[in-house]
Structure 1
Amino acid sequence: MSEVALTGANGFVGWHTRAALYGVQPSRTFSLGDGFHVDTASSAINGAHRLVHIAGVNRGTDEEVREGNLLFAKQVAEALTRSENPPPTVVFANSTQSGNGSVYGEAKRKASDILRGATEKAGVQFEDVLLPNLFGEHGRPFYNAVTATFSHLLSQGEAPTVEHDKELCLLHVQDAADILVGAVTPGESESLHVRESVTGLLKRLTAIAKAYGRGDIPDIRSKFDRDLFNTYRSYTFPQQAPLSLQRHADARGSFFEILRTHGGTGQSSFSTTEPGISRGDHFHRRKIERFTVLAGTATISLRKMFTNEAHEFRVTGESPVAVDMPTMWTHKITNTGNDTLYTSFWTNEIYDPSAPDTIPEPV
């Protein structure tokens, strides 16, 4: 199977790119900067189907931004030159700010020139991908993008304000990952960009936070709103999980609402699980999924992809709660009781066997 070599694999874009590749193409990673070893890097590059250079310096002093981006590009170029069997395609995760006269923009432009020269020398194709403002799950507040900052503040119950309104060109980071690994062609990438003002972005996220604060699924009919919702709820987990549900019981039995949705498709399903048996051990890149135990006792386990960060929730039908599965977190539900477990599942997508968005991975 063809492999993809990556730099910056532990950063925001790199982590999402690894998730996009998982189960589809194996990835090889190597370090840049102080951890760079040319032999290790050239070995990772050698024979790969594609090299994606993501690592960069976005924040810091002018010198750190300038020198850091140029150093990384020079190290990648050196490793590429040393490779006996270089990848036929080298991709640079560049920025639409490239060449705009700022320190960061000039650093990205010069880094692109360095990589282009190395690919010409190696006789391979160079793709200079100009990415706009990226947003997505687990972006770093006050660093990666304003979407991350707004989502973080709203999840903490704060009310962010807009100081300088302007129009943004936004792209979900999972879409950026698909572009970088070649799952989306450069010609198709423009259709994934969304233009929204900073004020409009905050308005959307505020509505999402308000709805989700009640346990509701907000209006996610548009792809953009779904991606914003997945982004926002990554800042609420695990602090705001599970979601409490009000149970009404009398002599006739009990009743509780599982969820309320404000727009978009959905599919509900139901399962029984015998004691000691688990369901799941997979993750989703974009799909929203809610587990609700109706009767019995279970443990819902989740682990953030490529990390050891894990959480468990012990749930029972006697005290019903809803647990939403964050995207890029592998998860499972295990019957830990002595009786049959009855569970309701809801997802925002009608199941499509040709595109299930369900990637196997043990918790």
Structure 2
Amino acid sequence: MAAEKVVLTGANGFLGFHVRSALKEQSVEAVAIPLGDAYNSWRSPASLEGMDRLVHLAGVNRGSESEVAEGNVLFARQLAEAIRQCKVPPRIIVMANSVQSLDKSVYGLAKSKSAEILGAAAESVGVKFQDVILPNLFGEHGRPFYNAVTATFCHLLARGERPTIENESQLTLLHAQDAADLLLGCAPIETLERLTVDLTVSELLYRLQEISRIYTQGEIPDVSSNFERNLFNTYRSFTFPGDTPILLTQHADARGSFFEILRSHGGISQSSFSTTAAGVSRGDHFHRRKIERFTVLSGDATISLRRLFSDKIVKFRVTGAEPVAVDMPTMWAHKITNTGPGELCTSFWSNDIFDSQAPDTISEAVEL
């Protein structure tokens, strides 16, 4: 899909982070429109002028019943006002709606009403409206005890705690990066059902417990399916940087030394090896879904990482004399720099075979 001019509401929320991360693959920086008390009746219409796509992500899902009901409808009315004031409105208006809009809860009714308001505004200015009904979302950097049960389970397991189940129920889960592709038109809406996975809360917890048990040993769990890979990426976002680097056991005798770099429990993978001259860096990119592990075999290096849309850099100083593994979290820009006087030798492992047509390797400097 060709790069579009995109404007977002709710750009700083959980789904907003994932949508903005997905847009970086197209080299698109979205324009953000604030709603609620920060709404500006003059600037907002101007921000919409000539845009290709408006994606409405903002919502109120916590608070009193009146705050939830009135807040969501207020957001929709403010946005509808801005749409109607545009001389050249966005070509397509997309609402990230919730499956709860199909029930009679206060939140569900508010989301349903919001969709009606935006749909009417789109029709009044002659543009397309898409009401995308999303199921339970999960993904990297979700907010525990707020966004979803997956985030809560991951948070607790990463801290060594034992989650409990208060209400057993059936879940339909969709990874936030897949939701972003749907909302941005990178994947057809008709594929939504194929991208979801149905399981109970207890089944979800069991899978995450297994992921945690295996990864605590420094091993990679079975990531042969997209869902398992996405669930693993979600879990490990809660372990970084506290559980990094992963210590590797080295065995040495008169013949030399030996250590295992990685044990993988399932899925395809690719291993590679590089040498890097003194003072040179490799990387300055990020991945949306790819799992990648760096292990320095000889020499000295610094591995630097920065989460997208943040300016804080995390650094690990590593050496082949004391081998460790550093796994690159998804949606973090990263690079490795040879900081020693001689040649740096590094092993790289990823969970997929490199495809030049779909590399999932997106240029992004660690140091801004």
* Whole-Å separation in 2 of the counterparts to 1:305 and 1:79: 29
In the alignment, what sits opposite 1:218? 221
In the alignment, what sits opposite 1:290? 293
- Post-superposition shift, 1:26? 3.7
**Greater mean alpha carbon deviation, residues 224-233 or residues 248-257:** 248-257
What's the CA shift string for 1:75-108, capped at 9, x where partnerless? 1111111111111110000001104111100110
Q: Does 1:320 align with 2:326?
A: no
In the alignment, what sits opposite 2:74? 71
- Over the matched positions of the two proteins, sequence identity in percent amounts to 60
In the alignment, what sits opposite 1:10? 12
* Whole-Å separation in 2 of the counterparts to 1:2 and 1:331: 26
In the alignment, what sits opposite 1:281? 284
Q: 2:186 aligns with which of 168, 183, 186?
A: 183
Q: Does 1:89 align with 2:92?
A: yes
TM-score, normalization by structure 1:
0.99
What's the CA shift string for 1:242-291, capped at 9, x where partnerless? 10001112221111110100000000000000011000000000000000
In the alignment, what sits opposite 2:142? 139
- Post-superposition shift, 1:163? 2.1
Matched residue SS, 2:356: coil
**Greater mean alpha carbon deviation, residues 66-75 or residues 141-150:** 66-75
Q: 1:205 aligns with which of 205, 208, 211?
A: 208
Matched residue SS, 2:101: coil
Q: Which AA in structure 2 matches 1:361?
A: E
In the alignment, what sits opposite 1:270? 273
Unaligned runs of 5+ in 1: none
* Whole-Å separation in 2 of the counterparts to 1:9 and 1:95: 17
- Post-superposition shift, 1:309? 2.7
Q: Which AA in structure 1 matches 2:308?
A: M
- Post-superposition shift, 1:36? 1.1
What's the CA shift string for 1:182-206, capped at 9, x where partnerless? 1111111111011011010000000
Q: Which AA in structure 1 matches 2:305?
A: L
Q: Which AA in structure 2 matches 1:189?
A: L
**Greater mean alpha carbon deviation, residues 154-163 or residues 344-353:** 154-163
* Whole-Å separation in 2 of the counterparts to 1:40 and 1:206: 48
Q: Which AA in structure 2 matches 1:272?
A: T
* Whole-Å separation in 1 of the counterparts to 2:195 and 2:41: 36
Q: 1:127 aligns with which of 124, 127, 130?
A: 130
* Whole-Å separation in 2 of the counterparts to 1:135 and 1:23: 20
Matched residue SS, 1:199: helix
- Post-superposition shift, 1:72? 0.9
Matched residue SS, 1:195: strand
Q: Which AA in structure 1 matches 2:218?
A: G
TM-score, normalization by structure 2:
0.97
Q: How does 1:1-363 map to 2 (within 5 A)?
A: 2-24=4-26, 25-363=28-366
Matched residue SS, 2:224: coil
**Greater mean alpha carbon deviation, residues 157-166 or residues 343-352:** 157-166
* Whole-Å separation in 2 of the counterparts to 1:38 and 1:234: 38
- Post-superposition shift, 1:61? 1.2
Q: Which AA in structure 2 matches 1:360?
A: S
Residues 135 and 171 in structure 1, CA contact (< 8 A), matched pair in contact too: yes
Q: Which AA in structure 1 matches 2:188?
A: T
* Whole-Å separation in 2 of the counterparts to 1:346 and 1:300: 15
Residues 99 and 108 in structure 1, CA contact (< 8 A), matched pair in contact too: no
- Post-superposition shift, 1:359? 0.4
Could you list the structure 1 runs, at least 4 aligned residues long, displaced by more than 3 angstroms after superposition.
none
Q: Which AA in structure 1 matches 2:283?
A: G
Residues 2 and 26 in structure 1, CA contact (< 8 A), matched pair in contact too: no
* Whole-Å separation in 1 of the counterparts to 2:75 and 2:166: 34
* Whole-Å separation in 2 of the counterparts to 1:248 and 1:196: 43
**Greater mean alpha carbon deviation, residues 21-30 or residues 223-232:** 21-30
- Post-superposition shift, 1:63? 1.4
Unaligned runs of 5+ in 2: none
* Whole-Å separation in 1 of the counterparts to 2:342 and 2:251: 22
* Whole-Å separation in 2 of the counterparts to 1:18 and 1:215: 31
RMSD: 0.9
Matched residue SS, 1:344: strand
